[in-house]
Structure 1
Amino acid sequence: MPLGALRPSPLVEQATQHLRDQITEGHWPVGTKLPAETALAKALGIGRSTVREALRALSGAGLVQARQGAGVFVIATEPAEDWPTRLRRAALSDLYEVRMLIEVEAAQLAARRRTDGDLALIGAALDRRRAAASGDTTGFVDADIALHAAVVAAAHNPVLTALFAEFVPALRQGLIELVELLDLRVDDPNHGDTGHSALVDAITASDADAAGDVLRDELNQTLAHLRTT
């Protein structure tokens, strides 16, 4: 596909897409050194600053890499998936395995670090989960996740909180589908209340081992369902 002059606007987006097409369609294979900025600018009919922005976007997508003193080289023909996209495509069982690593540790930290304010928020979240049991699946799952988020927040580790937040959108949709597929609330609308109550009690008592054990058991039960569906 020959290079050609581009229309005026938006130039950076057009340049990025044009160069991306050259790479993904195999015109510049992996290992190829791209033409210099001046040559690309002339061929595309744009300024060097626009070319530089386009190359920066391609680098962010994992397609090219600048090498000091050598130039810009193609390192992949397909853009790297960003983290949210990868999570959306992940199997729910894989999400749960990682969720267990994050949340069990968070529950143990929460038991050690929780404040009176944290306990009030966690208790209120448990009450909302119980109240949501009389409603639809979506509301119940949202209330369940909110309780877990309150526990993670009580660990007072911003990295753990951010990691859990990244998982929530994919986790939420997967849980809604799982609860409905397995009819988990048909006989028990407040499915899992015993375990969640025990988790809150363990955090309130500052019993880190019990908090970790309770949450691990709860998540393992769901993971067992996932592996048999």
Structure 2
Amino acid sequence: MTQLTRVPLADQAADVLLARIRSGEWALGARLPGETTLAPQLGVGRSTVREAIRQLAGRGILDSRQGSGVYVTALDAPEDWEQVLRRADIVTVIEARTAIEVEAAALAATRRTPSDLRAIRRALEARTVAGQSVEEHVDADMAFHRTIVVAAHNEVLTELFDGFVPRVRRAMVDMLRIRPVADAHADQDAHAAVVEAIGDRMPDAASRATRAHLDALKSGFA
């Protein structure tokens, strides 16, 4: 049974249904189980299942026939241009983040004060307990990364980061909706590695850990 925990749930439910169709669970022309069966399997309400089916019907994968049921009419669908463009924007933003944050992490490891380090660690902890919504997670993540940029004590880097935040936030929200974090613990560990390197005043390790994290994000969309 696949449980869905991130919003929007209808998008996630549609993705799970499409994955099950692609895996061969339902053949071309097969009738899907009813909403009362699918809803508990997905861990969502019947209205969410209906919206997911509507989305897949709009993409030509399902056909909802009144009085008969929902049938598989295609086994896959080409990626739409909107999603292609969103992916391109995400890659562009991650590349810009890399340019700013890798250098900021190295400088922070050299210049951070005890107060800076406390702020970074508090932000890391806040990121750990951030709410379940994509937006809350992204806001906590951006706040964490900003503490590192501030700890670099370079006003230009801070101004660049702050000016860039609105677009970063939009891209990161899109990214997590397209491809949710597969392993939240590994993701948090990657951020903790950056903090540890900054705390130990190891600029090379801090920049490597930051680059590795951002490269891993980019690899899913490049």
What TM-score, normalized by structure 1, do the two folds share?
0.57
* Cα shift at 1:164: 0.6
Say whether residues 1:147 and 2:147 are aligned partners.
Answer: no
Give the deviation of 1:175 after TM superposition.
0.6
Judge conservation of contact 1:202–1:208 (CA < 8 Å) in 2: yes
Q: Is it true that 1:203 corresponds to 2:195 in the alignment?
A: no
Q: Please name the residue that 2:24 is paired with.
A: none
Aligned with 2:201: secondary structure? coil
Q: CA RMSD in A?
A: 1.7
Which one of 151, 156, 161 corresponds to residue 159 of structure 1? 156
* Residue identity matched to 2:98: M
Output one character per residue of 1:18-40: Cα deviation in whole Å (capped at 9) or x when no partner: xxxxxxxxxxxxxxxxxxxxxxx
Residue 205 of structure 1: CA displacement? Answer: 0.2
Match of 1:220 in 2: 215
Native 8 Å contact 2:181 2:187 kept in 1: no
Paired residue for 2:128? 130
Which residue number corresponds to residue 115 of structure 1?
113
Summarize deviations over 1:151-202 as a string: whole Å, max 9, x none: 00000000000001111101101111111111225xx345610110000000
Q: For 1:48-127, list aligned pairs within 5 A.
A: 91-127=89-125
| Contact 2:104/2:152 (8 A) holds in 1 | yes
Distance 2:186 2:175 in 1: 13
Q: Give the partner amino acid of 2:155.
A: P
How far apart in 2 are the matches of 1:216 and 1:161?
18
Alpha-carbon distance in structure 1 between the residues aligned to 2:135 and 2:184 = 12
Aligned amino acid, residue 93 of structure 2: L
Preserved contact between residue 108 and residue 148 of structure 2 (Cα < 8 Å):
yes
**For structure 1, which segment, 176-185 or 216-225, has the greater mean C-alpha deviation from structure 2 after superposition?**
176-185
Contact 1:130/1:190 (8 A) holds in 2: no
Structure 1 residue runs without a partner (length 5+): 1-89
TM-score between the two structures when normalised by the length of structure 2: 0.58
Q: Distance in 1 between matches of 2:101 and 2:138?
A: 17
Aligned residue pairs total 136
Give the secondary structure class of the aligned counterpart of 2:191: helix
Larger Rg: 1
Q: Which structure ranks higher in relative contact order (CA pairs < 8 Å, sequence separation ≥ 6)?
A: 2
Within 5 Å, give how 1:164-183 maps onto structure 2. 164-183=161-180
Q: How many Å separate the matches in 2 of 1:105 and 1:143?
A: 21
Partner SS, residue 91 of structure 1: helix
Deviation at 1:101, TM superposition (A): 1.1
Q: Give the whole-Å Cα distance in 2 for the aligned partners of 1:145 and 1:226.
A: 20
Name the amino acid aligned to 2:174: E
Letter in 1 for 2:207: G
The percent identity for this pair of structures is 39
